[in-house]
Amino acid sequence: MNIPVPLKIAILAVGGTAFYGYVGQLVPQKEVHPPEVVEINKDVTSVEMAEIGKEIFNGKGICATCHTIGKSGALRFPDLDGVAVRSASRIPGYTDVDYLAETLYEPDKFLVPGFNKGMPQINKAPIGLTDDEILAVIAYLQSLGGSPSVTMETRVVYTGGALGGGTAAVAEAKSASDGAEESQISSILATACSGCHTAGNPADGPSMEDISGRLSRQEILTRTVDHSPPLPNAGQLTLADLQDIVDSISQIKGAV
């Protein structure tokens, strides 16, 4: 019996769909849920936090997927053995907690020489660690060559308050002060910086012309922190202020 070609195609399509549908039913079905939040009591010790942080590091945080501990040779990401010692002196003006927090919340802001971008922000999807979980990871990193010192009440610039408990009041206060801080930073850039560091006054200070193409962000930060004479109101500048100043300078391209 001759079966018309269109009918043959239809039979093949229906048969193929039925077959793969049957095979699909044989595969065990599994519903996937986001990782559960690790609840951390506020009265845990720093050492206990480090133990919790180690579990997060190797589990939910998937840090061990890229970072090694005690391995040498060609590595895609820095080995973390002894990171507690390096973190205290990696960036001038930073404490070890400042540095470790920045590497977790803003991993592309400072890159260890010899390594490229690639680490995700672990407080964002798909990893999505909470502030408390990140603080525990910091405690664990402090234990790699040192002793953990952070507590559940440690404050860092990224949370605007105690980790795991940033309040609306803190956020409102930060918003209200942003205008004043931006004005102060703009004043420093317009007077202290541009007043000396111009293309036409090399005797007063090195030119800022195309500085983004000549110096890395780390080099600009080091020269800003070690600036002589000190920047105006230097005693009132926070770590975040210095970062904003360096970020602004790092964007200068071409003539000024």
Q: What is the pLDDT of residues 89-124, one digit of tens each?
A: 999 888 999 999 999 999 998 999 888 888 888 998
Q: How confident is the model at residue 147 (pLDDT cuts 50, 70, 90)?
A: very high
For residues 15 and 229, give the distance between their C-alpha atoms in angstroms, rounded to a whole number. Answer: 82
For residues 165 and 152, give the distance between their C-alpha atoms in angstroms, rounded to a whole number. Answer: 10
Poorest-confidence range of 33-42, 58-67, 172-181, 242-251?
172-181
Mean pLDDT of the chain: 77
The CATH number fitting domain 169-250, selected from 1.10.760, 2.40.50, 1.10.3470, 1.20.1250: 1.10.760
* pTM higher than the cut 0.85: no
Q: How confident is the model at residue 59 (pLDDT cuts 50, 70, 90)?
A: very high
Digit-coded pLDDT (tens) for 23-43: 566 555 555 455 688 899 999
Q: How confident is the model at residue 171 (pLDDT cuts 50, 70, 90)?
A: very low
Topology alike, domains 46-166 and 169-250: yes
C-alpha dihedral, 177 to 178 to 179 to 184, nearest 10° = 90
Query: Average pLDDT, stretch 66-77?
Result: 89
CATH class of 46-166: mainly alpha
In the chain, domain spans: 46-166, 169-250
Burial of 209 (0-12, 13-18, 19+ CB in 10 A): middle
